[in-house]
A = this chain, B = another copy of it.
Amino acid sequence: MTARQARARLLLSLTVEAGDPRLVEWRERADPDELWRAVRAGAGDIPDRWHEAATDAERRLDGVLRRADEVGARWVVPGSAAWPVALDDLDHLEGIGQVAGAPLGLWVRGGGDLSVIAAAPVAVVGARTCTTYGAECASDIAADCADQGHAVVSGAAFGIDACAHRGALLAGGPTVAVMACGVDVDYPGTHAALLRRIAEEGLVVSEFPPGAEPKKHRFLVRNRLIAALSVGVVVVEAAQRSGSLNTLNWADQLGRTTMVVPGPVTSQASGGTHRAVRDGKALLVTSGRDVLADTFGLVGDDVPAVGAAARRVWVRLGAEPEPLERIASVLRLGTVPVHRALRELERHGVVAGDERGWWRSAGPGGQAAVG
């Protein structure tokens, strides 16, 4: 990806509303730079509104970049080392409603490396108007996931989302807030301190440019990123028509592990989650342990827990041998800690290695046994 392509993607993101399914079609026909030039020129069958917005985009570009600089946000695009490749899965879906496609790029605010943090993250989302019960569940599950080295992804909203972020932060783990507005916009306003904290210890990301206001439609657009970034999605509380169920839907389409926490049947806040279980759309989970077991197939009281690095390595490993250097490179870890992690897993009898590399062994509890 050249700087020119990255700039074209940025200008396109200022021109076309994120999630517009026509963008998927267009990107199949042209690379971002070609597409940007076509939009700029109003060529052929480019939608009129795109062409009209293009001039404005060029005019706004400097202001956007200046604003990004002020909050320390950077523009990350596909092909760059920091790009979380899991997002590309979105390009292979039909989409939901009038939303489709991988984002043109991501604005990333915070010191972390998104592709590292997103190695094996779990999303914990749910109702804004949650109960104290839901708040406790979200916080506990997020803490358990963070404690095991998994980043917790959520939407920084009131209620469950905020509890998920806070739970992860309290456990000392990274957390990622995916915004329906610019990464510089404190939304909701009362979460300004929380968002600052997330940016300090984790990441605040968005496909909307700095300065973009949250709009109703943008929450649905944003939800697909929460699902795509994560290996598993847990909905803690959701009423029957909650937006969290939209996230669950995206996760389901993307083949992510979909989970819900049950609650009292007398609680409307659990109406949507119970429905999801009844409809076969989600697994029932009761704890962080259940979440990790269902998402990563890691279970077993009989196998001692392993450290966070070993868990990350384990998640990466498959049945085929993979060279240590490649594992280290993909996980953005040094070869020394990866080797240490592999030895730890080997002691538990769940991985094996030879001159070709390392793989999950078929030994006792091999395929599904790190707890």
**Contact between chains at B274 and A286 (CB < 8 Å):** yes
| Residues on the B chain within 8 Å of A278, using CB | 283-286, 290
Tell me whether chain A's interface is mostly helix, strand or loop, or mixed. mixed
A136 within 8 A of B: yes
Shortest CB–CB separation between residue A212 and chain B, in angstroms?
Answer: 37
Q: How far is the CA of A290 from the CA of B266 in the complex (A)?
A: 14
Q: How far is the CA of A136 from the CA of B265 in the complex (A)?
A: 10
**Contact between chains at B261 and A265 (CB < 8 Å):** yes
| Residues on the B chain within 8 Å of A133, using CB | 264, 266
A167 within 8 A of B: no
Q: How far is the CA of A191 from the CA of B278 in the complex (A)?
A: 36
**Contact between chains at A284 and B262 (CB < 8 Å):** yes
**Contact between chains at B284 and A277 (CB < 8 Å):** yes
Interface residues on A, range: 20 to 34
Name A264-290 residues within 8 Å CB distance of B. 264-266, 270-271, 274, 277-278, 283-287, 290
Q: Could you mark each residue 124-135 of chain A with 1 if its beta carbon is under 8 Å from any beta carbon of chain B, else 0?
A: 000000000100
Q: Could you mark each residue 249-263 of chain A with 1 if its beta carbon is under 8 Å from any beta carbon of chain B, else 0?
A: 000000000000111
| Residues on the B chain within 8 Å of A270, using CB | 262
- Counted per complex, copies of this chain come to 2
Shortest CB–CB separation between residue A262 and chain B, in angstroms?
Answer: 3
Q: Could you mark each residue 225-265 of chain A with 1 if its beta carbon is under 8 Å from any beta carbon of chain B, else 0?
A: 00000000000000000000000000000000000011111
Shortest CB–CB separation between residue A283 and chain B, in angstroms?
Answer: 7
A137 within 8 A of B: yes
| Residues on the B chain within 8 Å of A137, using CB | 265-266
Most B Cβ at <10 Å: residue of A261, A270, A278, A290: A278
| Residues on the B chain within 8 Å of A271, using CB | 286
Please, which residue of chain B has its CB at the minimum distance from the CB of A273?
B262
Please, which residue of chain B has its CB at the minimum distance from the CB of A267?
B264
**Contact between chains at B265 and A264 (CB < 8 Å):** no
| Residues on the B chain within 8 Å of A266, using CB | 133, 136-137
| Residues on the B chain within 8 Å of A283, using CB | 278
**Contact between chains at A265 and B262 (CB < 8 Å):** yes
Shortest CB–CB separation between residue A264 and chain B, in angstroms?
Answer: 6
Q: Could you mark each residue 52-72 of chain A with 1 if its beta carbon is under 8 Å from any beta carbon of chain B, else 0?
A: 000000000000000000000
Contact of A262 among B136, B263, B287, B290 (CB under 8 A): B263
Q: List 25 A-B contacts (CB under 8 A).
A: A133-B264, A133-B266, A137-B265, A137-B266, A261-B265, A262-B262, A262-B263, A262-B264, A262-B265, A262-B270, A262-B274, A262-B284, A263-B264, A263-B265, A264-B264, A265-B286, A265-B287, A271-B286, A274-B284, A274-B286, A277-B284, A278-B283, A278-B285, A278-B286, A278-B290
Q: Known pairs A262-B263, A262-B274, A277-B284. 5 more at Cβ < 8 A?
A: A133-B264, A262-B277, A262-B284, A274-B286, A278-B286
